[in-house]
Amino acid sequence: MDTLSSIKELLFTLLLKVGVASSIAALLARWTMFRKVLFTEERDSDQKLKLMFFMTPPLLIGVVLRLFGLPYRFADLTLEGAFLLGLLGGRVVGPIGGAIVAIPALGAHEWLAMPMASAAGLLGGLIRQAIPNKEDIWNFGPFTFLNIPRATVRLMRQAAISWELLPLFTCVGLEIGRVALVRATKPTWLFAIDSHREWGMGLDVLATLMAVAVPLKIWNNTRIEMNLERHQQLLLKARMDALASQINPHFLFNTLNTVSALIRFDPDMARVVVLKLSNILRRLLRKHDTFVPLREELQFIDDYLDIEVARFGRDKLEIVKQISDETLESFVPSMLLQPIVENCLKHGLAPKIEGGKIQLRTTTREGRLHIEIEDNGVGIPEERKSGVYVEGIGLSNVRERLEVLYGADFHLEIRSRPGEGTLIRINIPEVVSTMQTVGA
């Protein structure tokens, strides 16, 4: 019965030890600065100091709890923590961090604690240096030992080393070495959870493996999440750049056609149009933000419409704007309105001999920005309504950009009656504070 009770007690202690290691790893992974250190594989001196700054305090607390509270033996992760510091920080961070963590134990006259911790940290650093591809370190997990048969066959047939097994064997050697030192010297010189019973050795080794492998697996999942977020941002930026490159040539081509037509019969007006065009180009070349205040977008539209008024004539093109003052500082995707206004002119009003009118309206309701662009042109024929987002560059581009930026949190509605005109409604979240551009 005493043996069974001892086994239960040992198992409970070792499970708590792995649980503490996992909890510390999960807690550290919540810190943005620590996540950045993990994400950067080649760390500079500043990042290595941050690594020690984050990892050594909880390890120190664990040693103190073990020294001053008998039920807290499982909280001491000196060996495992020093080895992790070496694996992640290198052959300098590992020994120094291990020595720092062992200071309370040294104060309690555990003379071998600091040399053992420093040696574990140094071994972790040397392993990091020896592994050619540092990503192999993150392949070490709780079930890596299952790969031993396959790795053996691979080594014999292809002379290829499975580097993730190196930390595994080192953990086994460190735990066996620690227990051997405790048995060869005085038990008070070095701490080990179970150093007297042979059957406890396997459990000790397994707990040490898990206390190193589980934090690595938790942090690797964090790195994978950060990597996915980064790639999503890069993909989003690439898509936005591709969509913008569709808009600008389309807009410039039509504007230059307008200038070409004006030069033939009104050179002075052509000069005015060229000046307006230069203002537009200057703005496009100056910056390419994903979001801009509505005020700036409307200024862009004013320059564009001045060009179109010169083309159609003031008696044939009327512009009516009903802009709520509270919407002027709301952020909208850049080049949102110009493709729509261009469609109104090209497909709605151009076919009408008598010209027409374009109305721009903006309001805010319940935290959302509502934009309406309406013309009294020829409308969209019934047979073309189903393909309105496919056939034209402008509307399809606007819709795709809104999907990229807002996901499902937007509404784009087109209402058109043949012979009477077209109304386009856009409903997006209202944002009036500073917004970061995509990919920033």
Digit-coded pLDDT (tens) for 343-379: 888 778 877 767 788 899 999 988 899 999 999 888 8
Buried b (16+ CB within 10 A) or exposed e, 290-326: bbbbbebbbebbebbbbbbbbbbeeeebebeeeeeee
Residue identified by tokens 């819709």 is: 399
Once rounded to an integer, what is the mean pLDDT over residues 281-302? 77
Predicted confidence band of residue 210 (pLDDT cuts 50, 70, 90): very high
Burial class of 421 by CB neighbour count within 10 A (0 to 12, 13 to 18, 19+): buried
Q: Residue type for 126, please?
A: L
Cross-strand partners of 413: 425
Once rounded to an integer, what is the mean pLDDT over residues 42-46? 85
Q: Residue 292 has what DSSP assignment?
A: E
Q: What domains appear along the chain, each with residue ranges and CATH number?
A: 2-230 (no CATH), 266-429 (3.30.565.10)
| Chain center to CA of 193 | 41
Residue 309 has pLDDT above 80, yes or no: no
Share of the chain above pLDDT 70, in %: 85
| Chain center to CA of 134 | 21
User: Among 97-101, 213-217, 255-259, 415-419, which stretch is predicted with the lowest mean pLDDT?
Assistant: 255-259
326 close to 370: Cβ distance less than 8 angstroms: no
Considering only residues 176 and 306, tell me which one the structure prediction assigns the higher pLDDT.
176
Strand order in the sheet with 411-417: 317-323, 356-365, 368-375, 421-429, 411-417
Share of the chain above pLDDT 90, in %: 28
Tens of pLDDT, residue by residue over 270-291, are 788 788 878 777 766 655 567 8
Q: Which helix (H) or strand (E) segment is 368 a member of?
A: strand 368-375
Distance, in Å, from the CA atom of 54 to the CA atom of 145, rounded to the nearest integer, reads: 29
Burial class of 3 by CB neighbour count within 10 A (0 to 12, 13 to 18, 19+): exposed
Q: Terminus-to-terminus CA distance in the chain, angstroms?
A: 64
Token pair of 264 as six digits: 């033939």
Q: What is the pTM of this model?
A: 0.61
31 close to 55: Cβ distance less than 8 angstroms: no
In the prediction, which pLDDT does 164 show? Answer: 83
Distance, in Å, from the CA atom of 323 to the CA atom of 340, rounded to the nearest integer, reads: 17
Residue 324 sits at φ, ψ, to 5 deg, of -75, 135
348 close to 422: Cβ distance less than 8 angstroms: yes
In the prediction, which pLDDT does 406 show? Answer: 84
Residue 215 has pLDDT above 90, yes or no: yes
Predicted confidence band of residue 200 (pLDDT cuts 50, 70, 90): confident
In the prediction, which pLDDT does 161 show? Answer: 81
Considering only residues 344 and 200, tell me which one the structure prediction assigns the higher pLDDT.
344
Q: Residue 198 has what DSSP assignment?
A: T
Residue 207 has pLDDT above 50, yes or no: yes
Once rounded to an integer, what is the mean pLDDT over residues 174-188? 87
In the prediction, which pLDDT does 245 show? Answer: 53
Predicted confidence band of residue 152 (pLDDT cuts 50, 70, 90): confident
CA atoms within 13 A on the CB side of 314: 2
| Chain center to CA of 344 | 39
Which of 4-18, 47-61, 226-240, 287-301 ranks highest by mean pLDDT? 47-61
Longest dimension (CA), the chain: 109
User: Among 157-166, 276-285, 332-341, 420-429, which stretch is predicted with the lowest mean pLDDT?
Assistant: 276-285
In the prediction, which pLDDT does 284 show? Answer: 64
Residue identified by tokens 């595994």 is: 168
Residue 388 has pLDDT above 70, yes or no: no
User: Among 45-54, 232-241, 351-360, 399-408, which stretch is predicted with the lowest mean pLDDT?
Assistant: 232-241
Q: What is the dihedral of CA 197, 201, 203, 209, to 10 degrees?
A: 150
Predicted confidence band of residue 28 (pLDDT cuts 50, 70, 90): very high
Predicted confidence band of residue 436 (pLDDT cuts 50, 70, 90): very low
Residue 434 has pLDDT above 70, yes or no: no
In the prediction, which pLDDT does 236 show? Answer: 62
* Nearest alpha-carbon partner for 35 in 225, 210, 205: 225
Cross-strand partners of 291: 333
Mean model confidence pLDDT for the chain? 82
Predicted confidence band of residue 435 (pLDDT cuts 50, 70, 90): very low
Token pair of 274 as six digits: 């060229």
In the prediction, which pLDDT does 85 show? Answer: 94
User: Among 42-51, 90-99, 400-409, which stretch is predicted with the lowest mean pLDDT?
Assistant: 400-409
Q: Residue 433 has what DSSP assignment?
A: S
In the prediction, which pLDDT does 41 show? Answer: 77
Residue 397 has pLDDT above 90, yes or no: no
Once rounded to an integer, what is the mean pLDDT over residues 67-94? 89
317-323 and 356-365 beta bridge pairing: parallel
Q: Which helix (H) or strand (E) segment is 320 a member of?
A: strand 317-323
Distance, in Å, from the CA atom of 128 to the CA atom of 91, rounded to the nearest integer, reads: 8
Predicted confidence band of residue 201 (pLDDT cuts 50, 70, 90): confident
Once rounded to an integer, what is the mean pLDDT over residues 197-220? 87
Residue 149 has pLDDT above 90, yes or no: no
Which of 31-40, 141-150, 262-271, 389-398 ranks highest by mean pLDDT? 31-40
What are the CA-CA distances from residue 109 to residues 105, 195, 337 (Å)?
7, 18, 75
